[in-house]
A and B are shown apart, each in its own frame.
Chain A
Amino acid sequence: MKKKKAENELYPIYYNGKEYYEEDCNDVFAAYYTCPEALNVEGGVYVSEGTWIYPDGRTEEW
């Protein structure tokens, strides 16, 4: 069993019924995810130009 998230750590993230560690996340999400406060309430991180990316690689103009 993987260890639980410590305070201020980035991973794991629960998203879409799954626990995501860095190695489970889409490359682009992992590259942009640098702090939990940057996530929107749906778990996306802002890339640019109104586009957000989610742990599974889904993008959305959120």
Chain B
Amino acid sequence: MKTNKSINRYIPEKVSDYIKQSDYKNKEHLIIICDMIYRVNNYKKQDIDYSNQFTDIPQNYFKDIITNPRYIKSAKDFLIDKGIIECDNIYSKIGGKALGYRFNNDYLSKLVKVVVKKPTITKKIIKNVNEKNNAVNDKYKKYKEYFLNNFSIDYKKAIKYLDNNLFKSLEYISPSYTSSLCGVNLEQKIKIINKYNHHFMAVSAINDGELFFRHNKTNGRIDTNLTNLKSELKQFISPKGLVQLDIVNSQPYFLSLLIPSLCGVNLEQDIIKFIDVTRKGKFYEFFQQQYNLQTGQFIDRKGIKDIMFCIFYSKNTSYKKEKRIFKMLFPNVLKIIENQKKNKHNQLAIQMQITESKMCIDTICQELDRNNIEYFTIHDAWLVDDKNINETKKIIQDCFDKEYKSIPKIDITNVNKK
């Protein structure tokens, strides 16, 4: 995060109006505490149904910005006394439970930007963001630096898009939404506004350069503001002129790469067939046709993809009907899948994500770095400038060929226009 003289924070409009009019001495402290409620939830995801649940905020989160505990207590007490925020008063050091906070329903409203200029506060926020991103392995340094220095968003257009959606959602539940929050739709209105505020916060964080870049040690994936961004908002990201390269039928394909190491070299006929259709990028079409024939039901490609995820990653005891049809076509492939999940059902999912990240992040991204191609990744996809399509596609396919003697089909789509 770059050094700026000021930092943007985001708090509900009604809270902002109250703070402006109040005679509280350290107004920045009130702003930091209110901003933290949405900001922490955007990372900890404790209120993902937007029903205004309490968000647990450890005391050190406040102390990292406002060093004097007396000031923190004073600001929190003020906000609680005035009925702006509520605290659940549940705290347990042994149980690892921090105090939870939320806004009083009366103060829930669209977030607005508030500029904080106090140097002691802005310096601390910048230092905290940079420290967390520095904890990433040097292997990902080149991508991390490119991401942190270049990833941005057309803020005005993205917010306009969110505003339009908010307006439509509120209109849908109540044409006279502009009246105060009351009546039978209160719960729905709270959810709609909270949902808007979470997306608003996510887009604003990108615009403010408050980017995160984390390497997940369990599955090897890299999580960033981009990987978590709603796809319909990707049209607003910058740089412009990006195209996305995806591996066609990626999950069946990765399974086909794993299979030889799981069952040896003597492959049964159905395994050979499975490997053949996935490597041609035709697995979903093939399974869709067979599934529809067997059941007499028409299921579209998305439905077939969902069924495949269930067959691959659910407990061996569930989704029996779907597995029965898969078993008729690929009995030995199902045996391999079930064998991987017999002790703990998440083992195949983790193994597949590790295989994916080893290839996509540890091998292909490193090769793109070596070839000085700038990119962003979304786990099993790459976003590059359209002038680099062919070179990137060749690198992806060469890497797979070298590692597995297999070349995947690559799908290419436009992300945003220049």
Interface residues of chain A, those whose CB is within 8 Å of chain B, are 3-7, 9, 13-18, 27-28, 30-32, 34-43, 46-51, 53, 59, 61-62
Contact = CB atoms under 8 A, between A and B. Distances in A.
B227 A46 contact: yes
B287 interface: no
B15 to A, nearest CB: 20
B45 A28 contact: no
B96 A6 contact: yes
Contacts of B350: 31, 34
B97 A50 contact: no
B313 A27 contact: yes
B48 A14 contact: yes
Nearest to B246: A49
A62 B246 contact: no
B58 interface: yes
A51 B380 CA distance: 11
Contacts, number: 135
Contacts of B309: 28, 47-48, 51, 53, 59
A7 B58 contact: yes
17 contacts: A4-B95, A13-B45, A13-B48, A14-B51, A27-B313, A27-B345, A34-B219, A37-B223, A38-B228, A40-B228, A41-B202, A43-B45, A49-B247, A49-B250, A49-B251, A49-B305, A50-B246
Interface residues of B, number: 60
Given A14-B47, A49-B305, A32 B313 contact: yes
A43 B219 CA distance: 18
A16 B227 CA distance: 23
Nearest to B97: A4
B44 A36 contact: yes
Interface stretch (B70-78, B144-152, B210-218): B210-218
B46 interface: yes
